Amino acid sequence: MPTNHPAAELRIAVLGVGQMGGYHVDTLSARTKGARVTVVSDYSHERATEVASAVGARVVDDPLEAVRADDVDAVVIASPGAFHEAQVLACLEAGKPVLCEKPLTIEAGTAYDVVLTEAKLDRPLVQVGFMRRFDAEYLALRETIATGELGNALVLHCAHRNPAVPDHFDSTMMLTDSVVHEVDSARFLLDEEIVAVRVLAGLATSAAPSGTSDPMIVVFETESGRLVTDEIFVRTTHAYEVRTELVAERGTAMIGLGHALQTSSGGRWGGQVTPDFVARFGQAYADELQAWVDGARRGEVGGPGAWDGYAAAAVTEAAVEALRTGGRVEVDLQPRP
């Protein structure tokens, strides 16, 4: 457990305080030991002011100026993906630890540039917001695979279901913004890279706008030939559900079935469906921030780094191509520096 010297409290700038960034500000302020939000920046000055005043922080309109500010030790990036590249590179230049929400950048090429730039520094500074790596169930599943108690891992079956998304959330975004989580989960659980992708689009739900394939089945192949299936369905109308089943040589393991309160009445038994990502992963988000803060104070990266952000981008780029062609697309992964 880290020692707690009040003097070492980390002063943080949060860039972008929409739903995700605002949630991070709350968690940093109310639940993250050793951290304090000192600067808030947002494209909307009004929104930034509202969020900052609630936690005693100040507003800096220019995000790159916020990165460089004297009362900022570290940076959380929750702005739109298109701004990530410039903001992350500014953090690297300023030598400040940064927790960047996924995607690291919006193309595999620029993500790899971040990897190369960071590799020239004397220590890594970038952590990417793959918060499932802090979820107790994923950690338990990874441990089960790592110990080899069930034999070699052969197949992973994933399901990723959201209750609803806006109409502009099309098939491509389903791959780049949603499936990207299974890309990282598969890499994290299996501890190897993904080398090829197929995307199968079948009958779409009537809730999907015309032209959007929701749900889809994505199939990944890993370096060692393992198959990973992923059902991505973002308009279930009722549930946020994330489930993963491992099929190994001598057994299987499943996470995501856990249910707390069970009631029985009116002819039915059961429980409440997890309504959103906070109910399912709220603790993982808090643990992610705490791990990042603890890491930053020790001069380390406490979670998935720039390479993980790049690798995910390379796979989702291939997935978008697989959706377009209907065939199998190989992932073009640059060498790791």
Phi-psi region for residue 75, left (φ > 0), alpha (ψ -120 to 50) or beta? beta
Residue 307 in tokens:
């390479």
CB nearer to a second copy: give 93 or 143. 143
CB nearer to a second copy: give 119 or 155. 155
- Element holding 157 (H helix, E strand): strand 153-161
CB nearer to a second copy: give 122 or 257. 257
CB nearer to a second copy: give 37 or 60. 37
User: What is the SS3 assignment for 153?
Assistant: strand
User: What is the SS3 assignment for 294?
Assistant: helix
CB nearer to a second copy: give 35 or 66. 35
Min. distance of Cβ 4 from a second copy in angstroms?
Answer: 4
Min. distance of Cβ 264 from a second copy in angstroms?
Answer: 5
Min. distance of Cβ 118 from a second copy in angstroms?
Answer: 29
Residue 209 in tokens:
């706008």
Phi-psi region for residue 302, left (φ > 0), alpha (ψ -120 to 50) or beta? alpha
Residue with tokens 């992973």: 156
Q: By C-alpha distance, which of 167, 164, 120 is closest to 276?
A: 164
Q: By C-alpha distance, which of 91, 252, 90, 68 is closest to 157?
A: 252
Min. distance of Cβ 76 from a second copy in angstroms?
Answer: 15
Min. distance of Cβ 90 from a second copy in angstroms?
Answer: 26
